[in-house]
């Protein structure tokens, strides 16, 4: 674990804590980093599965019209 000092907008931290239920600045930063990494990680199998789900859902909605 590394100790790093950064200036963070206090209002953003408090809002993020309220939204996430995090109890500390460290927890908010960890959650934000996890979400950033996950949002930008490319996994072809996961992407293919998600595309399949969307496609099947679209076909079901069209069939129900």
- Residue 59: what pLDDT? 85
* Residues whose CB is less than 8 angstroms from the CB of residue 20 and which lie 6 or more positions away in sequence, other chains included: 27, 28, 31
With 0.85 as the threshold, say if the pTM is over it. Answer: no
Q: How far apart are CA 28 and CA 22, in angstroms?
A: 6
pLDDT in tens, 1-47: 788 899 999 999 999 999 999 999 999 999 999 999 988 888 888 88
Q: Are 28 and 16 in contact (CB under 8 A)?
A: yes
pLDDT in tens, 37-65: 988 888 888 889 989 999 998 888 888 88
């Amino acid at each position: 674990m590394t100790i790093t000092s950064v200036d963070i907008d206090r209002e953003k931290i408090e809002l993020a804590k309220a939204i996430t239920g995090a109890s500390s600045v460290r927890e908010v930063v960890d959650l934000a980093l996890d979400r950033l990494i996950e949002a930008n990680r490319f996994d072809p199998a996961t992407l293919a599965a998600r595309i399949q789900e969307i496609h099947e859902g679209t076909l079901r909605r069209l069939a129900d019209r």
